[in-house]
Amino acid sequence: MDNIIPFLIGHHDSKRNAPIGRDLILSAHSANYDMLTFPITTSHFHSRVLSVLSAAFSDASTNLDESSSRNAAPVAIEPLSPADTQLTPDESLNSIIGTTSSWIDLGSTDPIIADISRQVLRLELAYAAFCGVTHVVIYGPRQNSSCDVAAYARAVLNGLDQGPYMQLYIWTNTHSDPANIKEQVGDLASFARREYVHAHPQSDDSGGAFERWQAWDTIRSICSYSTRLNLALSIAKSLPTPSVLSRWYSEPVRILTLDSSTFRKNAKGYPALPLEHQEYILQLMRLKTQPWLLICDATTLNLPRSQPGEKNESNFPSLNQAANMPSVEGDPHLQYVRHLQTKRSGMNAMDQFGAGYQDYLQAPLQPLTVNLESVTYEVFEKDPIKYEWYERAIARALHDWIEQGKPTSNPDGRVVVAVVGAGRGPLVSRALKAAEDTGIDIDVWALEKNPNAFVLLQRHNETRWNGGVSLVKSDMRTWLGPQTNQNLSTIRKTYNIDPDGAEQAGSPQARTNPEDQNLSASSILMPQNNRYKVDILISELLGSFADNELSPECLDGVQHLLNPVHGISIPASYTAHFAPVAAPKLHADISLSMVNVNPTAAEIPYVVMLDQVDFLSTSTSPSSPVPHTAPSPTKPKTFASLLSKSSRQSSASAASNGTNKPTATPSIPTIYTAWSFHHPNHSIRSPPTANAHNARHCKFSFPVSNPGNCHGLGGYFETVLYPGVELSTNPLTMEEKSAGMISWFPIFFPLKLPIFLPEGGVVDVSMWRQTDDRKVWYEWLVEAYVLQGSRRIKVGSSELHSSEKEACLM
Ligand SMILES: C[S@@+](CC[C@H](N)C(=O)[O-])C[C@H]1O[C@@H](n2cnc3c(N)ncnc32)[C@H](O)[C@@H]1O
């Protein structure tokens, strides 16, 4: 069942002059609004500030000299008086969002204007906090090249101190557009003295389409990613490019504002939104913290007409008042937005599975050193795809084994199948099912080191598998292999082989002559203590970055039990993939809270359902990746999943992996393959005495077309279970290879400090898989460059991050 939260919609009137109080709030509620905005101060206050300003500017005795006025407040605004504000501490304030004055200019380059603006902001926020207003919208920095965004941000930082429980919302447009600039009477900006305007020219609007985002980035960086600093994002008539929308998606958008001018008239003359606006809004409304919506300047709220002498202190209107309330049918804009919420699509398997887990950082599992609980296995087993694909891979391997006439390791002719790390046994059931479906006899072994899971395996063997499975409680690396009570040399050896069939080229032990097969069997099998080899070794030891749960180390330790000529490992191989990402929420979670508990929190890879994340290296068409060193990058076979905007399934799966692309021409993320592992690995001695062969290193250059902050790396994996049967969490291939798979969330390698990536530059990412033969850990480094012709100029670098202190023990 979908758990759909209704939209919470507020009323904003930039010229609101009705008195705040129960009547206004009742009026908003009866008009079907959930909340409303209210200016913290009155027009009286505005007039008072303007008079103080004009008096100062006209009074020659006031020292307004820049050098002295920079640090002082030569023009003082007196504290608020009752005429300056209508707010009074009251329960009804729960339903209001305070708004600070739109006529101040915190980023003014005129020091007097900036200083007065700061004073106004401080007075307003302090009084709102005193009254108990917990949500306050602050108008964003001015959209002009002379705006001093750093000064604006500094004022907001002070503002955060005014109310420790207050959430602030910076109200900004998605992109710079002259159409979004509104003139207003008494704007302090218009009083800025000429000599100061353009005194600090900005670098030619360098943010381009990202200019508004860059201003926001400056503000929240100066405010140290405060979790009390949010965005009120205005959705204007013209939407910016998909890459700009995608960037805003990754930010803490808690309020969406829709001006009446954003609506167009539909065929019947009612206000409606264009399709792309609808899609973007619906995308944002699926965020874990669903934003509130504000409908701006669409209608004026009518107050109930009280009868003379009528007074009602209760929370409900009197009958008379109710009769005079504006009709709920009232605002067609509101009706439209309420209707929009019915257009939300339902949740797919991944949405349902991951609900509540979006951007929630979890320590990766370490099933090798920690014994998993039943409930964890239960979660794995809910995957509708993974086990199905394993069954398919096992069936194909069995089929091929017989078809290719390979001798079996059990001399009785059954193909020896071992599930190592069997957990509660789902892969054992799948192996039995594959054998039944292909009609091939198998000798099944299930090995598990978790003693608790082993109890269940024993129970399943009795109740589900008719005692047909041989169970072993052991670490796979110390297992001696399948064993029989019978003397191997007395067993009549039969082989699933067509005597006339061709043998595999290059298999010296494979013979067509049954006698030869007996010989080869004994030479391959080397039976000791009646032990024999495994033909098909099945495991699922993969983590979100493929090898991070030490699958290579475990399989290396057991592969000596595999039939050395024909033995098959399912999976046959796996690869790790990664991309630099902007993830401000994850950065804030780690740097503001998790490091307080664990000082190494910023150097640990996390498993996380990436949602509010933006890929920093993208292109609109499949680009040729630029590997820095040898390993080959991912070559996606299809981009259908990323290009399909109509498929609910694809957008949801993409969302879970941080690939939300809100509009028609999505950007395709650049995701490179870090490294790969193959099993069995014939180049090692098994069991190995050292682990150096499982160390890896790679370095890639990712082109960056838009400015952004890199907060870390998103990591994924792909695996070939058996040729033609693959699983993938890589956003570029997941739809094609294993659509609907839910078992693995991506991994996130954080950076302690964000690295700013200028547009048109490149970011080099180096990664290492390190080992000292006792443990395995990762290291990562990010370096940013701008390009000048063929020269690369370094503009930023992270320190070398290492998870050695939280390494995985082998
Ligand atoms: C990710 S779980 C998979 C369980 C099950 N095969 C499934 O697909 O639901 C990995 C299992 O391997 C087991 N395991 C990990 N390393 C092992 C080792 N070295 N020897 C034996 N079992 C191991 C863990 O205890 C765990 O039960």
Upper half-sphere CA count for residue 737 (Cβ side, 13 Å): 23
Ligand 1 center to 808 CA (angstroms): 15
Instruction: Give 502-513 as a 3 state SS string.
Output: CCCCCCCCCCCC
The alpha carbon of 257 is separated from its chain's Cα centroid by a whole number of angstroms, namely: 24
CA distance 298 to 259: 7
Q: In CATH, what class is 374-540?
A: alpha beta
Q: How far is CA 721 from CA 402, 509, 696, 718, in A?
A: 18, 26, 21, 10
Residue 305 has a pLDDT of 61
Ligand 1 center to 663 CA (angstroms): 41
Atom 1 of ligand 1, residue of closest alpha carbon: 541
The amino acid at 236: A
The answer to whether residue 622 scores a pLDDT higher than 70 is no
Q: How far is CA 300 from CA 18, 183, 296, 422, 730, in A?
A: 10, 20, 10, 66, 50
Higher local confidence (pLDDT), 665 or 295: 295
DSSP-assigned beta bridge partners for residue 792: 787
Average pLDDT over residues 579-592: 97
Residue 91 has a pLDDT of 79
**Is 549 among the catalytic positions?**
yes
Q: Which residue's entry shows tokens 């929190």?
A: 601
Instruction: Give 264-325 as a 3 state SS string.
Output: EECCCCCEECCHHHHHHHHHHCCCCCCCEEEEECCCCCCCCCCCCCCCCCCCCCCHHHHHHC
The answer to whether residue 495 scores a pLDDT higher than 50 is no
Structure tokens at 66: 């820049």
Nearest Cα neighbor of 657 from 558, 599, 719, 732 is 732
Residue 61 has a pLDDT of 62
Percent of the chain whose pLDDT exceeds 70: 83
Look at the domain 573-809 and name its fold. Hnrnp arginine n-methyltransferase1 (2.70.160)
Q: Is the dihedral of CA 295, 331, 274, 663 positive or negative?
A: positive
Residue 359: partners with Cβ closer than 8 Å, 6 or more residues away = 288, 583, 585, 586, 589, 608, 609, 610, 611, 612, 613
**Is 276 among the catalytic positions?**
no
The pLDDT-based confidence of 504 (bands split at 50, 70, 90) is: very low
CA distance 83 to 398: 85
Ligand 1 center to 448 CA (angstroms): 6
Burial 250-266 (b: 16+ CB within 10 A, else e): bbbbbbbbbbeebbeee
Residue 500 has a pLDDT of 42
Q: How far is CA 148 from CA 54, 107, 390, in A?
A: 23, 4, 59
Ligand 1 center to 420 CA (angstroms): 7
Average pLDDT over residues 664-680: 88
The pLDDT-based confidence of 507 (bands split at 50, 70, 90) is: very low
pLDDT digits 0-9 by tens, 759-785: 999 999 999 999 999 999 999 999 999
The answer to whether residue 727 scores a pLDDT higher than 80 is yes
Residues 397, 568 contacting (CB under 8 angstroms): yes
Determine which one of 391, 448, 540, 806 is catalytic.
540
DSSP-assigned beta bridge partners for residue 135: 167
Q: Bin 679: left if φ > 0, else alpha if -120 < ψ < 50, else beta.
A: beta
Residues 365, 306 contacting (CB under 8 angstroms): no
Structure tokens at 132: 């108990």
Residues 430, 391 contacting (CB under 8 angstroms): yes
Atom of ligand 1 nearest to the CA of 387: 8
Atom 20 of ligand 1, residue of closest alpha carbon: 475
Judged by average pLDDT, the poorest of 370-379, 395-404, 523-532, 557-566 is: 523-532
The answer to whether residue 284 scores a pLDDT higher than 90 is yes
pLDDT digits 0-9 by tens, 75-110: 899 999 999 999 999 877 888 999 999 999 999 999
Residue 57 has a pLDDT of 83
Structure tokens at 628: 């820095």
CA distance 599 to 597: 7
CA distance 137 to 156: 11
Average pLDDT over residues 555-576: 96
Please provide the size of the chain in residues: 810
Tell which CATH architecture fits domain 9-344: Alpha-Beta Barrel (3.20)
Atom of ligand 1 nearest to the CA of 381: 9
Residues 452, 422 contacting (CB under 8 angstroms): no
Structure tokens at 468: 């047909």
Which ranges in 611-743 belong to alpha helices (H)? 640-643, 648-656, 734-738
Q: List the chain domain ranges.
A: 9-344, 374-540, 573-809
Percent of the chain whose pLDDT exceeds 90: 69
pLDDT digits 0-9 by tens, 8-25: 999 999 988 777 888 888
CA distance 767 to 783: 12
Residue 315 has a pLDDT of 46
> Interface pTM (ipTM) of the complex?
0.99
Average pLDDT over residues 655-673: 62
Q: What spatial distance separates the first Cα and last Cα of the chain, rounded to whole Å?
A: 42
Residue 35: partners with Cβ closer than 8 Å, 6 or more residues away = 8, 9, 10, 11, 28, 95, 96, 97, 292
Upper half-sphere CA count for residue 124 (Cβ side, 13 Å): 31
Residue 330 has a pLDDT of 76
The answer to whether residue 575 scores a pLDDT higher than 60 is yes
CA distance 169 to 159: 11
The answer to whether residue 328 scores a pLDDT higher than 90 is no
CA distance 474 to 373: 17
The pLDDT-based confidence of 655 (bands split at 50, 70, 90) is: very low
Rounded to whole angstroms, the maximal C-alpha distance in the chain is 116
In degrees rounded to 5, what are phi and psi of residue 214? -65, -35
The pLDDT-based confidence of 143 (bands split at 50, 70, 90) is: confident
The pLDDT-based confidence of 810 (bands split at 50, 70, 90) is: very high
Please tell me what DSSP assigns to residue 589.
I
Residues 705, 787 contacting (CB under 8 angstroms): no
Residue 213 has a pLDDT of 97
Average pLDDT over residues 550-556: 97
The answer to whether residue 314 scores a pLDDT higher than 50 is no
Atom 7 of ligand 1, residue of closest alpha carbon: 423
Atom 15 of ligand 1, residue of closest alpha carbon: 368
Indicate the average pLDDT of the chain: 85
The answer to whether residue 671 scores a pLDDT higher than 90 is yes
What is the pTM assigned to this prediction? 0.88
Residue 690 has a pLDDT of 94
Average pLDDT over residues 459-479: 97
The answer to whether residue 511 scores a pLDDT higher than 50 is no
DSSP-assigned beta bridge partners for residue 292: 255
Higher local confidence (pLDDT), 582 or 661: 582
pLDDT digits 0-9 by tens, 34-71: 999 999 999 999 999 999 998 888 876 666 665 555 55
Residues 225, 157 contacting (CB under 8 angstroms): no
CA distance 402 to 395: 11
Structure tokens at 693: 């062969």
Residues 140, 215 contacting (CB under 8 angstroms): yes
Judged by average pLDDT, the poorest of 367-371, 425-429, 605-609 is: 367-371
In this structure, the dihedral spanned by the alpha carbons of residues 17, 20, 23 and 27, taken in order and rounded to 10 degrees, is 60
3-state secondary structure of 171: strand
DSSP-assigned beta bridge partners for residue 627: 700
Average pLDDT over residues 294-299: 93
Ligand 1 center to 741 CA (angstroms): 19
In degrees rounded to 5, what are phi and psi of residue 20? -75, 145
Residue 498 has a pLDDT of 38
| Residues flanking ligand 1, CB < 6 Å | 367-368, 372, 377, 380-381, 421-423, 426-427, 447-450, 453, 475-477, 540-541, 554
Average pLDDT over residues 499-518: 36
Residue 565 has a pLDDT of 94
Residue 17 has a pLDDT of 79
